[in-house]
Structure formats: structure tokens, C-alpha cells
Amino acid sequence: MPSSLRSRCRLIVALAAVLAAVPAVFAQESEPGFVSLFNGADLTGWAGRPQHWSVEGGAITGRTTKEHPAEGNNFLIWTNGVVRDFEFRCSFKIEANNDVGFANSGIQYRSKDFGNFVVGGYQADMEVGKSYTGILYEERMRGILATRGQMVWVQPDGTKRVVGTMGSSEDILGAIKEGGWNHYVIIARGHHLTQIINGRVTIDITDDETGKSASEGILALQLHAGQPMTVQFKDIRLKNLDGAK
């Protein structure tokens, strides 16, 4: 394991402890450099399929029903630019409105727009279930890049090495509130990506694969195909880290 990655692991754990104490609020004074991406009232600055996306109770809401199922995974896309190096924060809640008891969603970042509100790229995953919340999944591309609790180095030739741990998957899952609001943080700086939920680092990855790692792209929210479900997002804010050291 490269010493730089080992040092980064220690720094990320320390950062997570600090983030755990940060409330999910819009106030610029308490979160310097962050800007709100959602006005809490309508979908200004976002675009998606109107039969699936709306604002309810001050939260962006994605919902499928038997009458309005998702025809494949579809996305609500932020329309005010692309993201490069950044820190993203939001609160999310996901519910399964079905007998199966499963629902899946995610936050796309540095992703590609394939048209008709279909997106592919890095996804900070979430679900009703025990397997995927907090993992890094690459939609329409390489699939799962890091499972919950993993510190991963994707080498230039595409070989994936697990070089450390952020804690056990079960312990991290224990910090996630099923059916309640959870706080998601995504930090992307160069090839280094970190995801944090409720102050617990869920994955830390350095993606150095030649021709595959993404340095910029769109930001979007996923509504998964399948059984009826609801996912909500609020307190969505972004800090640009371009040029930061």
C-alpha cells in the first residue's frame, strides 16, 4: 500500500469526525464557500421527467408508481454547469413503496448525459436494503468500484486493489437511518474520491485507470427502475474546489 494512500486514510477518518458535527443547513456563515443548488420550492436549475420528479415538503422528490413506472433508470439533472473538484453535501431519505421492500437510488457526479434523462458515471449509491448504501458504483460503465468500507486503488491498467479499510460494512451500515434522513458528503479532488454518510467514511478510492477515470461531468439524482419507490433530497449544496490545494 503506497504511503501516500495510508496517510490519506488517516486524514479522511479525521475529516469525517469534523463533518459529523456540521449541521445540514443552507447558512453560508456556517459553511463557507458552499452554495445552494436547490431553492426548496421548485425544480429551478434541475431537469427531469415531470411524471417522476417534483418538490414535496421542501425536498426534491423522485417517485415511481404502478401507474407511472420508470422505463429504465432515469435522472434529475442539475443544469447549471459541470462539476470537477468539489465537495457536495445533502440529506436524503429513501422508501420502498412495494411488497418487495427494496428501493435504490444514487447521486451521480462527474457523469455523462446520454440523452432522455439517462446518465452514466460515478454514483454515490443508496438503497432500502443492506448491500449498496455508501458504495461507489459506475452507472453504465465499470459497475461497482468500491464496496462499503473499502479503500481502493484502481491502477492505470484497470487492476483494482483494496489497499485499506474504512471500517466494517456492518458497522458503517449501523450509522445509517433506515427510512429516515441521512447526511451524504461527496468529496472529489483529482483522481481521489471520498463518500461519507452521517460522519462515517463509506468508501475512499483513487481512480487512476487510463481513459476511464473521470475528471469532470454532470451532477444528477437517480430514480431506479423496478418496484414503486420514493427518494427525497434536501439541503443540497456544493463547494467548488477547483484550484484548491
* pLDDT at residue 156 in the model: 98
* pLDDT at residue 132 in the model: 97
Assigned CATH for 3-239: 2.60.120.560
Tens of pLDDT, residues 27-65 = 444 799 999 999 999 999 999 999 999 999 999 999 999
Average pLDDT rounded to a whole number, residues 180-208: 98
Please state the domain extents for the chain.
3-239
3-class state of residue 204 by DSSP? strand
**Average pLDDT in the chain:** 91
Range name among 28-37, 82-91, 97-106 with the lowest pLDDT average: 28-37
Percent of the chain at pLDDT > 70 equals 87
- Residue of 177, 171, 186, 161 lying closest to 237 (CA atoms): 186
Tens of pLDDT, residues 122-160 = 999 999 999 999 999 999 999 999 999 999 999 999 999
* C-alpha cell of residue 46: 434541475
* pLDDT at residue 30 in the model: 74
Backbone φ and ψ of 166, nearest 5°: -105, 10
As a whole number of angstroms, the distance between CA 146 and CA 54 comes to 31
